[in-house]
Structure 1
């Protein structure tokens, strides 16, 4: 591990400590309290908070069927079993709702087993990756909507994909980008000036690594994929932030 930033908050008191460097190279800048990180799945609860704020204002409701904004969802098919061929499907037993997306029980999500559905997700470019998805939100949804659900809505749990579907829904329900919704409702009011869907200051960005059998492998350099606004603002894991903001 090249470095760290740790934050602890008790009541109104916060302590932030940093050590090491932002990359493995010995000449790389030191970690500091304001170093930027890709916060990955911490984006999900922040997306849930954003959704609840829209519910509070009456824009949408927890049990609204999502086909109000994503009409293709009304035609979704469900696999007869998770490992079935993609053409072995049955009708929806109930509509997919916003509640299903928030609780990751919609039937869309990460299929870890080698199944026809997993292979179709990989081929279609919608299987989760640590790097930004290189397609628009509408194209992402169009691809996901063309695949069957792994189970009936509410009858199982699959991580990840439903949050990105929710992100597309929120932009359609409001006519506003996720960046602007966060700025208006979450990051702006809370003073989270370092939180966005890309690095607000590339000079403060840490490198990202993946562990492997031979140690750490560079996945994304500080000036890499998260240094610029993405094509698709992913509610499943697209935010960049600091320990202080989070």
Structure 2
């Protein structure tokens, strides 16, 4: 990872990046690079034990958790979500996703579990951030970078008041479907999402550092979060210190984001996916469900509707994007990215603590993915 090391260190030297942890798994071997510091204020060195805010990199884990219920027969992919979330029965649908909220028609079928997994349920962010629909999502459902203060029931009550942006299964809207999926799983099992995730995903995979909040004893390992300023003289501003928003339990664990952990914990999850659902001899997911998870489920029109949320070579599987190169993964708005490529038996992970610069993404994450792709193309041992 010499080129990755050079790029990351250059960003640290320029002041655009406090630090980072990069991991690359190839043919069972892991390369790691650790640069910089956890936070600029204390100068604590970055390490592989550093805890990062994963943000939307929690979506693939929520999808995997849902598939454990599908595997055991507790839920069916085609089941209407109102079986467990009756608050969302009989939805209305906007005739124009950018138009007035009062201009609606009835939904032509119920939203299903599979719609939530694929973000085709109709409740979520569109590419029109100025529309009345998106404004309602931000103000009433608290869609955005900050943790929600709404409790579960208040969130569902607010969601029930909103129309869908499109007919169920016919479009694509970002984020909210994963939150609803987490709440649905809580209803199915009558347990909080964090407990379910620990029992079915974290503990079996020995992901000992993954959680939704950081207790006082571990705050010294938690990286501060920053955002770019665009000012070369002071390129970063502090958004949230270790003892800030994530030093206490959230109003409810969000299936769309909010998870916190180490880069190595996400690598374990990636390893399970590469092993077709198995980890150290233990079956976590059936192979066919893992294959479906990492298969593009969208039509060409749905990919078009996704706009800047998905790149030209991306579709969406269950909980993450699927690219034409065969890779599966996603990017977190807090500055994290991870991809698994079953064609090559590889995984690449980069965790930083600098937020994406809006829809434009992050130059550092883009440079990392480009370098990984170049390295893979020149690897004579690539399968």
The answer for the alignment partner of 1:63 in structure 2 is 78
Task: Return the alpha-carbon distance in structure 2 between the equivalents of residues 29 and 157 of structure 1.
Answer: 41
Alignment of 1:100-139 (within 5 A): 100-113=115-128, 114-124=130-140, 126-139=141-154
Residue 205 of structure 1 is matched in structure 2 by 222
SS of 1:226's partner is coil
Q: Which residue of 2 aligns with 1:170?
A: 185
1:154-177 deviation line (CA, Å, top 9, x unaligned): 111111011001111110111011
Structure 1 residue 119, shift from structure 2 partner: 2.0
Deviations 1:201-245 (A, max 9, x none): 111000111223232221111111112211121111110010111
After alignment, is 99-108 or 115-124 more displaced?
Answer: 115-124
Deviation larger for 5-14 or 48-57: 5-14
Q: Confirm whether residue 224 of structure 1 aligns to residue 244 of structure 2.
A: yes
Summarize deviations over 1:114-143 as a string: whole Å, max 9, x none: 11112222221x242222111112211211
Provide the rounded CA distance (Å) in 1 between the counterparts of 2:256 and 2:95.
27
Partners of 1:70 and 1:3 in 2: CA distance: 42
Asked if the contact 2:124–2:137 (Cα under 8 Å) also holds between the matched residues in 1, the reply is no
Match of 1:6 among 14, 18, 22: 22
**Distance across 2 between alignment mates of 1:84 and 1:130:** 25
For the pair 1:182 / 2:202, whether they are aligned, the reply is no
User: 1:137·1:233 contact (CA, 8 Å) conserved in 2?
Assistant: no
Larger RCO of the pair (alpha carbons < 8 Å, separation 6+): 1
Alignment deviations for residues 147-194 of structure 1 (CA, whole Å, 9 cap, x no partner): 000000111111101100111111011101111111100000000000
Unaligned runs of 5+ in 2: 1-16, 267-383
Asked if 1:16 corresponds to 2:36, the answer is no
2:284 corresponding residue in structure 1: none
Q: Tell whether 2:257 aligns with 1:237.
A: yes
For structure 1, the 5+ residue unaligned runs are none
Count of aligned positions = 244
Q: For the Cα contact (< 8 Å) 1:138–1:168, is it kept in 2?
A: no
Q: Distance in 2 between matches of 1:112 and 1:123?
A: 17
Please state if 1:148 is matched with 2:163.
yes
Tell me the C-alpha RMSD between the 2 structures: 1.3
Aligned partner of 1:161 in structure 2 is 176
| Kept in 2: contact 1:3–1:31 (CA 8 A) | yes
Q: Distance in 1 between matches of 2:159 and 2:227?
A: 27
Q: By percentage of residues, which structure has more helix?
A: 2
